[in-house]
Amino acid sequence: MSLRIAAVFAVSAALIGATPAVAAAESGGAGVPTSNPTPAPAPAPAPAKPKRGYYAPTTVRHFYSYYRGYRTYRGPVFVRTETGQVLPYSTSTVQSLGSGGSAFRATELSGLPHLVVPGRTARYIHGLAAAPLRAPLAVQEMIWAGNELIGKPYIWGGGHASFIARGYDCSGTVSYALHSAGLLTWPEVSGELESFGGRGVGHWVTIFANAGHVYMTIAGIRLDTSPAYDPTNLEGPRWRPLMPGNPGFVVRHPNGL
């Protein structure tokens, strides 16, 4: 009899010291008060990853991350000669190639080297753009032509009476690059470039045009006279990071590129 009483006291003590949920479970849910505690909040869903296209960063964080990479390329750089040779780039290489009777062919206007880098993306090297080795020659020529315009002032209407000008506006800049690849025979204004080539984003080259402005991206970098989204805030034609977005522009591309 004493053993049975001891067992009853032991079970009662266990039920009293247990949590309501445990006590209810152990006693079959009878004779133990229960409560309705506030449920823990559901974890917030993970934010969706932004879709990053080839031609534009899609968030401000992506833009600055891209810009840091755009400015800090440290990979190999080469020079393409007139005969098609690809030689390691250095100041001494360019000087030796550029002195009398060499195979080196600098751009006709500025004497700049034709810089190239491995891969499919153009890179920014000491103020110039280096064309990707895997790009078609027309794409490389547009990049080398864009280098010729760096440092030219912005002049409204510049580059329209002739491809050769003291300064360039937005459409004069884009026209100059297209002409260098044999894609345009006469400069066009931004409104005319709204119907240039084919619709949509190109594989290598994309033109963004409206009635008031035009710029282009070539192999992952942007040729533009506007300093928008460019931390240097310098005006005039030059290479800049890609824009986070391109609202309000008609998107075109050279056929085949």
- Position 157 in a domain: yes
**What pLDDT score does 219 carry?**
96
Per-residue pLDDT, averaged over 111-122, amounts to: 92
Rounded to the nearest integer, the mean pLDDT of the chain is: 76
**What pLDDT score does 257 carry?**
96
pLDDT band at 30 (very low <50, low <70, confident <90, very high): very low
- Contacts of residue 90, defined as CB under 8 A and 6 or more positions apart, other chains included, come to none
- Position 33 in a domain: no
Whole-number Å distance between alpha carbons of 179 and 201: 19
- The per-residue DSSP string of 107-170 comes to -TTT----EEESSSS-EEETTEEEEETTS-HHHHHHHHHHHHHTTPPB-TTTTTS-SS-SSB-H
Whole-number Å distance between alpha carbons of 233 and 11: 79
- Position 24 in a domain: no
Q: SS3 for 103? A: coil
- Position 231 in a domain: yes
212: containing domain: 60-253
Q: Render pLDDT for 160-183 as a digit per residue (tens, 0 to 9).
A: 999 999 999 999 999 999 999 999
Alpha-carbon distances, residue 104 vs 21, 116, 210 (angstroms) = 84, 14, 39
Q: How many helices (H) and strands (E) are present in the chain, helices listed first?
A: 7, 11
**What pLDDT score does 185 carry?**
95
Q: Render pLDDT for 53-87 as a digit per residue (tens, 0 to 9).
A: 344 444 445 444 445 555 668 889 999 988 888 99
- Position 212 in a domain: yes
- Position 39 in a domain: no
- Position 104 in a domain: yes
The helix or strand, by DSSP H or E, that contains position 48, with its residue range, turns out to be none
- Domain count for the chain, please give it: 1
- Position 5 in a domain: no
Q: What is the CATH number of the domain that holds 185?
A: 3.90.1720.10
- Contacts of residue 174, defined as CB under 8 A and 6 or more positions apart, other chains included, come to 193, 207, 209, 214, 215, 216, 223
pLDDT band at 254 (very low <50, low <70, confident <90, very high): very high
